[in-house]
A and B are shown apart, each in its own frame.
Chain A
Amino acid sequence: MFYREAGQFKTTYAADQQIFPIRQDRLGMLLLLAVAFFFVPALLSEYWLKAILIPFLIFSLAALGLNILTGYAGQLSLGSAAFMAVGAFASYNFMLRIDGMPILLAFIGGGVAAALVGIAFGLPSLRIKGFYLAVATLAAQFFIVWLLTKVGWFSDYSSSGVITAQDMEILGYRFVSPEAKYLLVLSIVVVLALLAKNMVRSSVGRAWMAVRDMDVAAEVIGIRIMHTKLLAFAVSSFYCGVAGALYAFAYLGTVEPEGFSLDLSFKILFMVIIGGVGSIAGAFLGAAFIVLLPIALDVVVQQWLSGLLAPSVSSNLQLIVFGGLIIFFLIVEPHGLARLWQIGKEKLRLWPFPH
């Protein structure tokens, strides 16, 4: 009853092609954005903004990037954290070496640098597929982290490659408070997410999906495989690069290459798989799950079990529960949280009536 599109006629092509063709979706989206932009920063505490929402948004962006590559173009990658590192260090260097560099331009520069690196490491995808490719992207993961640690120029010759991000300033306004940082990150993520949504429903996205489903067949019907795969790598790495820059500038402030470890890559892959492969909303749901789960586990362990367990035991327990929950989710809903959301919408169509 609440999610019924009956009576919504599309009389123009524009109405047929709009991003959310159903009125309920449009209203819901507006409501969500209004809450995110106006109520969240006003109502939630500093801790929530700084420790949960900002990383959630940043990881959503990274997961979005990986989802474009893995979910839409079908190329498995285990190197997303390395592309984040490229974005973070490139933005830092743009800010450091060019006087009066606007911060947004530096973020874009970081994204473009990551995209170029992504294209370079995407080249093997033209020859190899599947898990061979996944292991090959591990080369990017290890090589880039090594390079950023070893070559002092990238980190302005600081010890062990640690960089401290510069202040973010747009038109004279300095983004220092958590609320300001949150709003900046939110704006960037919303713009990029809309862009991604539009990309995957355009001819580019259809080409990606054709390559994902069967690349030989896609080639036969005239899709340029090289162009399509490398574009997917470039766009995906751009998103990861911007996410990495935000990770350094808006979230942590101080980062080192080792921070962008294989574990982070796996985390982003988990977000994509748990959220839903090949779904924009899934990237957000998955990021929320993976960001919140350790925090929730932490709270549970500290509140209820703090007296009972030694710290070493509780950290192992968290490891077990985290891994166990991931397996559990994969078994219960292999298509991810986005699929649950889909099912929920189907149910809402009729509910509370039987027909």
Chain B
Amino acid sequence: MQFFIEVLLGGLLSGVMYSFVALGFVLIYKASGVFNFAQGAMVFAAALSFVGFQNLGLSFPLALLAAFTTMVALGILTERVVLRPLVNQPPITLFMATIGLSYVIEGLAQGFWGANVRGLELGVDDVPVQWLMDSTGIGVSSFDLFGAGVAAVLVALLALFFQYTRIGRALRAVADDHQAALSIGIPLQTIWRIVWAVAGFVALVAGLIWGARNGVSFSLTFTALKALPVLILGGFTSIPGAIVGGLIIGSTEKLAEVYLGEYVGGGIDSWFPYMMALTFLLIRPEGLFGEKHIDRV
């Protein structure tokens, strides 16, 4: 039982990581209907530039600021160079463009900062929390708890931003109906720029947490693929869905690997989340929190 809880908690906390990446997807999909495949590359680029700036001798807050500026610039540039000329194209074209974009970002990031695997230090140790260990015998990494805390703060910030600021209201209006938003005078392009910048910020947070966990290397872009089943589980347009979906995917993935993996030769975490999301979709095609889609002829 104790072991089960430990695995479950570990899974839940690693699920938080998936949620981070999924959040960036959701933000952009909500506001512009673009399925942004480059989010994984953005996470990688963000982590790499943070480490790169740190290696240049900048202090922690300065490097953070510099990486943040880079990501915002990247987001704005993406809107200007890639998305604006592709306005009104079918979604699949935009999707392919973001795949192209992910190549460009990966190439740029590696070309600029080098392709070596680097460590990333946030000042939080990856050791079990002592008092929890003593009282219940369950080992939970303090780093994972830190990650979960950051996720909670991030979601709270995003929720406040969306709910109570002028820009947030405009963002929700755009997400609801592009044309209606345009017709009441919301500048669509500014909104998109802001969304891409916010997604860049989320990518930075995700990159820092992921990078501190596993090191900053090219494999970060693959880990980001894990955010996709989270997305279909939670629904493409739901921020709570991204969080809950991440928790479900993370925990079941770990449980399946531990309890089922040994019977089939292990390594099932590469496809298990997808299969689970798929079975789930067969029952509820709009995802956990997605909007119910009604077809009109």
The residues of A with any CB-CB pair to B shorter than 8 Å are: 70, 76, 124, 127-128, 130-132, 134-136, 138-139, 142-143, 146, 149-150, 214, 216-217, 220, 262, 266, 269-270, 273, 277, 312-313, 316-320, 322-327, 330-331, 334
Contacts and interface: CB of A to CB of B under 8 A. Distances in A.
B104 A327 contact: yes
Given A331-B85, A334-B89, 7 more contacts: A136-B274, A136-B281, A150-B267, A313-B111, A316-B111, A320-B107, A331-B97
A327 B79 CA distance: 13
Given A135-B231, A139-B271, A150-B264, A216 B104 contact: no
A292 to B, nearest CB: 17
16 contacts: A127-B282, A132-B281, A135-B229, A136-B278, A136-B281, A139-B278, A142-B274, A143-B275, A146-B271, A269-B99, A317-B107, A320-B103, A326-B99, A326-B103, A330-B100, A331-B85
A305 to B, nearest CB: 13
B82 interface: yes
Contact of B297 (A127, A143, A217, A262): A217
Contacts of B265: 150
Contacts of B236: 131-132
Contact of B102 (A138, A316, A323): A323
Interface in B255-282: 264-265, 267-268, 270-271, 274-275, 277-278, 281-282
A136 B287 CA distance: 12
B95 interface: yes
Contact of A136 (B102, B105, B277): B277
A316 B285 contact: no
Q: With a 10 A CB-CB cut-off, give which of A124, A139, A214, A334 has the most chain B CB atoms.
A: A139
Top 8 nearest A-B pairs by Cβ distance?
A323-B103, A319-B107, A139-B274, A326-B100, A320-B107, A316-B111, A142-B271, A323-B104
Interface SS of chain A: helix, strand, loop or mixed? helix
Nearest to B236: A131
A143 B269 CA distance: 10
B123 to A, nearest CB: 31
A327 B101 contact: yes
B231 to A, nearest CB: 7
Nearest to A332: B85
Contacts of A273: 92-93, 96
Nearest to A325: B100
A139 B275 contact: yes
B270 A146 contact: yes
A150 B236 CA distance: 32
Contacts of B96: 269-270, 273, 326, 330
Nearest to A147: B271
A141 to B, nearest CB: 8
Contacts of A136: 232, 274, 277-278, 281
Contacts of A142: 270-271, 274
Interface residues of B, number: 49
Contacts of B278: 124, 136, 139
B91 interface: yes
Contact of A277 (B92, B102, B107): B92
Nearest to B282: A127
B120 interface: no
Contact of B106 (A127, A214, A319, A326): A319
Contacts of B189: none
A138 B274 contact: yes
A135 B274 contact: yes
Given A146-B268, A326-B103, A214 B297 contact: yes
A313 B113 CA distance: 11
Contacts of B132: none
Contacts of B285: 127-128, 132
Nearest to B228: A135
A33 B232 CA distance: 45
A142 B93 CA distance: 24
B277 A135 contact: yes
B100 A316 contact: no
B112 to A, nearest CB: 9
Given A128-B281, A135-B231, A136-B232, A316 B107 contact: yes
Contact of A334 (B86, B271, B287, B297): B86
A173 B225 CA distance: 46
B30 to A, nearest CB: 13
Contact of B104 (A138, A149, A266, A320): A320
Nearest to A74: B92
Contacts of A135: 228-229, 231-232, 274, 277
A149 B266 CA distance: 11
Contacts of B232: 132, 135-136
Contact of A143 (B86, B111, B274): B274
Contact of A324 (B35, B100, B114): B100
Contacts of A128: 281, 285
Contacts of A324: 100, 104
